[in-house]
Chains A and B, each alone.
Chain A
Amino acid sequence: MAYRLGVDVGGTFTDLFLVNDEDGTQHRVKTPTTPADPSQGVLVGVAKICETAGISPAALGNVMHGTTVATNAVLEGKGARVGLITTQGFKQILHLARSQTPGPLAGWIIMIKPDPPALLSDTVEAVERMGPRGETVVPVDEQQVEGIIKQLVDSGVESLTIGLINSYISNKHEQQIGAIVERLYPGFPVTLSSDVVPEFREYERTLTACMNSFVRPKVEEYVKNLDAELKQGGATCDVNILRSDAGLMTTREAGRNPIYGVLSGPSGGVAGALAVATRAGYPNILTFDMGGTSTDVALCQNGEPTIGRDTSIGQFRLKVPSINVHTVGAGGGSIAHVPQLTRALRVGPQSAGAEPGPAAYGKGGTEPTVTDANVVVGHLPPRLLGGEMALDVAAAETAVGTIGDAIGLETDAAAEGILAIVNENMAGALRLVSVQRGYDPRDFALVAFGGAGPLHANAVAELMGSFPVIVPPSPGLLCAIGDLVAEFRNEFAQTIVTPMDQVKAEDVGSVLDELGTRTREWMTSEGIAEGDQRITYLADMRYVLQGYEIAVPVSIDDVKAGKLDQLGDLFDQMHEQLYGFFMEDAPTEIVNLRCIGNGAVPSMQFPTAKSSTGDGAGAIVEEHEIVFEGRKVPTRIYDRSKLTPGDTFDGPAIVTEFDSTTVVLPGYTAAMDEYFNILINPQA
């Protein structure tokens, strides 16, 4: 049972990555995604990769899986019909939302507001009221509540949410109503807001819980089918699902709290990039995942991703932990245009998508895209995917030429302009996750992946000063690698909202103990051996009356020893790092205490080879020209599969492989390291 399989279902392709933990051998497979029922594509891929490796599915010890089933349900608004039971007086909680309309001034004129996961006609008010100190103001009127539950279920809702005011401080009423549902309709899917997010701010908590109910039947069915069909094919292993914070959860947990996996996709990429870069000796990285329509970026320090507790998806802000991934609407398919009024050159956010796609793909697209600009300047050689797909250079030139005409530039210069602007947009996203949070991007390496990441990484790294650029082998498969290296993870929290000058170490200690016990119980119930369990604690802190918290690491030993002072100091330090100042005399408070449980998985072996001191000449397949700062520059094209560790060569150069193309600009040197990564650095 030495085999581990990572499976990532993306928009276009399903990627699979198989590792033999005993000898480190690896296999990779790419199959088309089957959007109607993604499990079909997964099963095809599993069969294919088992065949390639010459093993039977029974040999699979573990399947780790990143899935976008929940993401798509939210984005497409296609989920279960959700009934919401809320506190009397708050029926319109989701309808009112946070009352926000977009900027700038007059932004409301063009705002489009999506329906919330539970419609007003499926929302009912329970007679009950909990106070802000956990005191019952109005007890639950059981008879009234029975009536509204029956009314909802009989009207045909498929999933119920109970979201009551102040349930973050006491979940008594929510549990009481949950028990009534269970008594009346045993087994009916119910989500309690205090289970999913036991934190304050009623709108975000209720919305997150409703979204959980909204995606739950779909995800439950998906994981059940996948599990059943894998077993039918002879597999005996467990399937684990990747969470948005790059932890793993079992299918059982995924069926219960699927909302924790709502950004499973991007988190797999970050986890994979981190694994590759840490192994190569770079624990501080910026990840740069550029696809067809958008680019995801994230910052990781000391081998850890930054985890946030606010997750935006579409127009919804959900309160679940996720890797702080920032997305910009800039990708290979982004369309360049020149508005009549200002005659400025804009790139995106509109995208040509897969259909019709860039002009160069010859599928009927005529609008100039970033990919077309790459073709014009020669960063994309005329043949892609190992010669399988030819690019229509003339069509790309015609498309980009329209931009040149509109702003008065030659076609080559217009193409360079499009690339400069899209690179700048992506650097803006990288600045947001680094500089704006107090990090110096020059202290970070840039890990490039996704279809277009390696094409742009050198130019973007130049803007950021982030070197080396690391292009891992098979950059298109990095998400599946991320699935493989992820650990089991869950977190439990308790809101306490207490100023530091009133908080007692023994109270903090007992809350942490209780959270720790719950976390251990959870891990044990998920089958994680005691020796593999790792527990850490956090306190969400802020200055009294601030509205955002900073998660400060807590040492349980210090708390047990009665020491809390260092928490305040650490908070001040982190506040200064993030915002550039701290307040000596302002009182601080603890808002939430958190316990995070990690369950270790066996670490993955990466193939290595001894370094030599080659120049990669044997890998040169073609001579070619690229446009660089207005001039045509002769450039060598290398076949990545023929490069060996230690090979070093200067830019300009282009490295092609099955699913990606890497550009090395003039003035830079590329080298292959012992893990087969390409590292790009400025020439000494």
Chain B
Amino acid sequence: MATTSDELRIAEIPTDVEIDPVTLDIIEGALKSARYEMDATLFRSAMSPVIREQHDEFPMITDPRGRMVVGQFGAYINEMMEAWDQGIYEGDVILTSDPFKCSASISHTNDWLILVPIFHDGALVGWSSQFGHMMDAGGRLPGSLPTNAKTIYDEGLIIPPVKVIERGEVQQPVLNLIFNNMRMPAMNRADMFALIAGCRAGEKRVQELCDRFGQETYLAACQALLDRTHAAMRTLINLAIPEVPHSFEDYVDDDGLGHGPFKMKLTIWREGDHAFFDWTGTDPQAMGPVNFYLSEGMFKMFIGIYLIMVNDPQILFNDGFYPLLHIILPEGCLLRPRFPSALGCRTHALARLFDVLGGALTKQAPELNTAAGYGTSPYMLYSGWGEKGDFFYAMEILYGGIPGRPIGDGMDGHSWWPLFENIPTEYLEAYYPLRIDGYTTVTDSGGPGLHRGGNGVEKRYVYLEPGEVSIHDDRWLTRPWGVLGGLPGARSEKILKRVDGSEERLPSKCDEIVVEPGDMLIYRTAGGGGWKDRLDRPVEAVVRDVSFGLVSAAYAKEGYGVVINADGTADEAATAAERERQRTERGDALFFDFGPPLEEILASCKAETGLEPPVPATPLKWSALEDGAEAQQRVRAKDDLPGDTVTAP
């Protein structure tokens, strides 16, 4: 760590301290509750509904070397600190919103990251950190996420790592500079202090653990916890990752500027205890803001969580297994865009990444085998000036169909993202000039399967003041796939019904749509894909879905081969015959069902969606795509695992 502070003493991790298994488990439990306490503190005091109601935030505690011992995302401290030259003192608080200066641990300028060094007996024993999504981060448009941004400079204030509190003293000039650039400074300020309060809670717990067990024992325990996860993951990698490479690919539909679709391709294989995840074959970065600057650490964490979920859910997620995973990201691809690319709307690629990861892991790990879901984070933003000339700005994240799963149906209109919540209609109507005409799910949008995919959401917004609307969504072109005989879920769509009775289709990514009082937006998100053979779904389950209005009688026949009588019961004889007919006609069920091939989707795009199909992107002059083989050799050299270049089958 480059630092000018002479007195900074980084605690050594002892190698000779024996730690008994019970103490280790106690420290593990205490760290885990510290992490939840960080969350709880933030939720209770944050102002932004995106953090508070939707829980778009992530905590972390690291050891003195910056390795995450508990949290949801990988550590980024080291890379950040390499460029740091201002010293680190007890009582410091660092803020940043620059993805290019923290190895992409935050992936757009809306995420504000707080970093608090933890001292015990004068030595640095770790870091406590938390980041959350700000409602607004300044810039051209409220929300700071213009769908037509071309560089990061279109996306609000870019805060480099800076001390907002130094040795306990609030750095008012810095804060003045920052908040002067915000539309709703009070909210940013409250949310920033809420993030700090969360980090302080983590700091306090670590200090207490050092007091209680001794600093050396605590630090040895951190190391032992990292080692424990390392050992567990080694076993899982050997179980879940095949030695022979195999690939999976899927698409982000467009970049908001009319280009697309963008392919994301992942090839995985194993060499001994080491697993490779190679994104070679992924399309070059987009001109528009759909690039997702993927942090290697974060991706390793995703993989780890997927693999470990079903084995010991009580385990502490930490960095311990990172040396076993090797991530190849060619420079200049959609997932490793070069500075100063636009990053604001990265949730589409982020969500697709899980579809691709799930698809790639499926064959070897059947317990993780699910279909694809609504596959993005659909936003609706609405701003303007109210009756009394007061500025209003509403932002809501919508959800959609959860994939069909081994355990059961995908939930209808639920959040794929953990712990996110919808915003109550009564909250929206009390604070914003909005009336919600209806909030329901889209009948028949879940992909049929033995376990049905969840239905997408339909939310109808009636605007009561003149204003501007933004939409961020995806899966309007390609479909959330079904698996093992399940069908894909339905695509998303947005219809604007003007108060004069006219109707228009809105693209899935757009800004500055001018609305007048009485205009209604019908926002429909995508459904989830079905899991296993749709013709094997128990007839009672289909009858229940029809009686609930989640599936229509017509689709019961088309999608499940179940013939529904006028009284809502099933006609068993007709059902048996219809299922037999469909089985014969279909032949063997597909392993993955993506719907029609891409060429066909593009050809029928205008007719089916009312929107022009996206066109292939032209390469950006300032960001050439690195060759996949070179990228792989670069990673092999960095991770010290020499070998021949492995290519996708």
Query: Which residues of chain B from 273 to 321 have a CB within 8 Å of any chain A CB?
Result: 302, 305-306, 308-312, 314-315, 317
Which of B309, B315, B421 lies in contact with A98, CB distance below 8 A?
B421
Report A73-109 CB contacts with B as 1/0, cut-off 8 Å: 0000000000000001111110111111111111111
Which of B37, B40, B236, B425 lies in contact with A202, CB distance below 8 A?
B425
Q: What is the interface residue range for chain A against chain B?
A: 35 or more
Cβ-defined contact, A109 with B309, below 8 A: yes
Which of A92, A99, A137, A408 lies in contact with B421, CB distance below 8 A?
A99
Which residues from chain A contact B436 at a C-beta distance below 8 Å? 89, 165
Query: Which residues of chain A from 432 to 470 have a CB within 8 Å of any chain B CB?
Result: 432, 436
Q: Does B28 lie at the interface of the complex (its beta carbon under 8 Å from any beta carbon of A)?
A: yes
A100-B415, A109-B407 known; A578-B44 Cβ under 8 A: yes
Q: Does A547 lie at the interface of the complex (its beta carbon under 8 Å from any beta carbon of B)?
A: yes
Which of A100, A104, A119, A121 lies in contact with B414, CB distance below 8 A?
A100
Report A574-588 CB contacts with B as 1/0, cut-off 8 Å: 010011110101110
Chain A proximity of B581: nearest CB distance (Å): 29
Cβ-defined contact, B33 with A431, below 8 A: yes
Which residues from chain B contact A564 at a C-beta distance below 8 Å? none
Chain A proximity of B309: nearest CB distance (Å): 5
A92 vs B412: C-alpha distance when bound (angstroms): 10
Cβ-defined contact, A101 with B186, below 8 A: no
Q: Does A200 lie at the interface of the complex (its beta carbon under 8 Å from any beta carbon of B)?
A: yes
Which of B28, B44, B310 lies in contact with A344, CB distance below 8 A?
B28
Query: Which residues of chain B from 562 to 603 have a CB within 8 Å of any chain A CB?
Result: none
Report B411-423 CB contacts with A as 1/0, cut-off 8 Å: 1111111111110
A317 vs B228: C-alpha distance when bound (angstroms): 36
A420 vs B370: C-alpha distance when bound (angstroms): 39
Cβ-defined contact, B405 with A580, below 8 A: no
Cβ-defined contact, A101 with B414, below 8 A: yes
Cβ-defined contact, B416 with A101, below 8 A: yes
Which of B28, B229, B422 lies in contact with A96, CB distance below 8 A?
B422
Chain A proximity of B286: nearest CB distance (Å): 25
Q: Does B605 lie at the interface of the complex (its beta carbon under 8 Å from any beta carbon of A)?
A: no
Which of B44, B406, B411, B438 lies in contact with A88, CB distance below 8 A?
B438
Closest A residue to B528 by CB, please name it. A108
Cβ-defined contact, A417 with B548, below 8 A: no
Chain B proximity of A575: nearest CB distance (Å): 7
A109-B405, A436-B40 known; A341-B418 Cβ under 8 A: no
Which residues from chain B contact A95 at a C-beta distance below 8 Å? 412-413, 441, 548
Which residues from chain A contact B399 at a C-beta distance below 8 Å? 99
Cβ-defined contact, B412 with A100, below 8 A: no
Cβ-defined contact, A89 with B315, below 8 A: no
Chain A proximity of B359: nearest CB distance (Å): 14
Query: Which residues of chain A from 93 to 133 have a CB within 8 Å of any chain B CB?
Result: 93, 95-113, 119-121, 131-132
- Of B19-27, B98-106, B215-223, B606-614, the one contacting chain A is B19-27
A119 vs B545: C-alpha distance when bound (angstroms): 11
Report B537-565 CB contacts with A as 1/0, cut-off 8 Å: 00000001001111000000000000000
Closest B residue to A113 by CB, please name it. B411
Cβ-defined contact, A105 with B29, below 8 A: no
Cβ-defined contact, A342 with B315, below 8 A: yes
Closest B residue to A120 by CB, please name it. B548
Closest A residue to B370 by CB, please name it. A109
Which residues from chain B contact A99 at a C-beta distance below 8 Å? 399, 413-415, 420-422
Cβ-defined contact, B411 with A110, below 8 A: no
A409-B21, A428-B33 known; A89-B439 Cβ under 8 A: yes
A105-B305, A109-B370, A581-B193 known; A546-B422 Cβ under 8 A: no
Which residues from chain A contact B49 at a C-beta distance below 8 Å? 545, 547
Which residues from chain A contact B402 at a C-beta distance below 8 Å? 101, 108
Which residues from chain B contact A89 at a C-beta distance below 8 Å? 436-440, 460
Which residues from chain B contact A436 at a C-beta distance below 8 Å? 37, 40-41, 201
A-B pairs with beta carbons under 8 A, tally:
233
Q: Does A421 lie at the interface of the complex (its beta carbon under 8 Å from any beta carbon of B)?
A: yes
Cβ-defined contact, B419 with A100, below 8 A: yes
Which of B43, B435, B440 lies in contact with A131, CB distance below 8 A?
B435
Chain B proximity of A137: nearest CB distance (Å): 7
Q: Does A214 lie at the interface of the complex (its beta carbon under 8 Å from any beta carbon of B)?
A: no
Which of B26, B196, B424 lies in contact with A203, CB distance below 8 A?
B424
Which of A100, A120, A342, A408 lies in contact with B228, CB distance below 8 A?
A342
Chain A proximity of B495: nearest CB distance (Å): 16
Chain A proximity of B601: nearest CB distance (Å): 27
A98-B421, A101-B411, A119-B548 known; A548-B29 Cβ under 8 A: no
Cβ-defined contact, A420 with B548, below 8 A: no
Query: Which residues of chain A from 181 to 203 have a CB within 8 Å of any chain B CB?
Result: 200-203
- Of B426-434, B481-489, B505-513, the one contacting chain A is B426-434
Query: Which residues of chain B from 357 to 386 have a CB within 8 Å of any chain A CB?
Result: 368, 370
Q: Does A390 lie at the interface of the complex (its beta carbon under 8 Å from any beta carbon of B)?
A: no
A289 vs B69: C-alpha distance when bound (angstroms): 32
Query: Which residues of chain B from 177 to 224 have a CB within 8 Å of any chain A CB?
Result: 186-187, 189-190, 193-194, 196-197, 200-201
A408 vs B20: C-alpha distance when bound (angstroms): 10
Q: Does B52 lie at the interface of the complex (its beta carbon under 8 Å from any beta carbon of A)?
A: yes
A633 vs B196: C-alpha distance when bound (angstroms): 48
Which residues from chain A contact B24 at a C-beta distance below 8 Å? 344
Q: What is the number of residues of chain B that contact chain A, defined by CB distance less than 8 Å?
A: 89
Cβ-defined contact, A421 with B22, below 8 A: yes
A344 vs B197: C-alpha distance when bound (angstroms): 31
A602 vs B171: C-alpha distance when bound (angstroms): 58
A131 vs B402: C-alpha distance when bound (angstroms): 32
Q: Does B249 lie at the interface of the complex (its beta carbon under 8 Å from any beta carbon of A)?
A: no
> Which of A339, A416, A425 has the most B CB atoms < 10 Å from its CB?
A339
Closest B residue to A97 by CB, please name it. B414
Closest B residue to A137 by CB, please name it. B435
Chain B proximity of A288: nearest CB distance (Å): 17
Q: Does A43 lie at the interface of the complex (its beta carbon under 8 Å from any beta carbon of B)?
A: no
Report B618-638 CB contacts with A as 1/0, cut-off 8 Å: 000000000000000000000
Closest A residue to B32 by CB, please name it. A428
Cβ-defined contact, B309 with A106, below 8 A: yes
Closest B residue to A578 by CB, please name it. B44
A120 vs B44: C-alpha distance when bound (angstroms): 33
Which residues from chain A contact B310 at a C-beta distance below 8 Å? 109-110
Which of B314, B411, B412 lies in contact with A108, CB distance below 8 A?
B411
Q: Does A598 lie at the interface of the complex (its beta carbon under 8 Å from any beta carbon of B)?
A: no
A98-B421, A101-B414, A109-B368 known; A428-B29 Cβ under 8 A: yes
Q: Does B47 lie at the interface of the complex (its beta carbon under 8 Å from any beta carbon of A)?
A: yes
Which of A202, A417, A428 lies in contact with B21, CB distance below 8 A?
A417
A90-B438, A201-B424, A407-B21 known; A424-B549 Cβ under 8 A: no
Q: Does A497 lie at the interface of the complex (its beta carbon under 8 Å from any beta carbon of B)?
A: yes
Q: Does A166 lie at the interface of the complex (its beta carbon under 8 Å from any beta carbon of B)?
A: yes
Which residues from chain A contact B201 at a C-beta distance below 8 Å? 436, 580
Cβ-defined contact, B72 with A105, below 8 A: yes
Chain B proximity of A551: nearest CB distance (Å): 14
Query: Which residues of chain B from 308 to 350 have a CB within 8 Å of any chain A CB?
Result: 308-312, 314-315, 317
Cβ-defined contact, B186 with A581, below 8 A: no
Report A402-423 CB contacts with B as 1/0, cut-off 8 Å: 0000011100000011001100
Cβ-defined contact, B411 with A111, below 8 A: yes
Cβ-defined contact, A545 with B44, below 8 A: no
Q: Does B502 lie at the interface of the complex (its beta carbon under 8 Å from any beta carbon of A)?
A: no
- Which A-B residue pairs are the 8 nearest by beta carbons? A89-B438, A103-B418, A417-B22, A120-B548, A132-B429, A579-B45, A339-B312, A98-B421
- Can you list 25 pairs linking A and B with CB atoms under 8 Å apart? A89-B460, A90-B425, A91-B440, A101-B419, A105-B418, A106-B305, A109-B310, A109-B368, A119-B548, A121-B548, A165-B425, A341-B232, A341-B311, A342-B228, A342-B232, A345-B25, A407-B21, A424-B26, A425-B29, A428-B30, A432-B37, A545-B187, A545-B431, A547-B427, A579-B44
**Apart from A417-B21, A586-B190, what 11 extra A-B contacts exist at CB < 8 Å?**
A92-B441, A99-B420, A105-B302, A120-B549, A121-B544, A202-B426, A344-B25, A436-B40, A548-B44, A579-B194, A586-B189
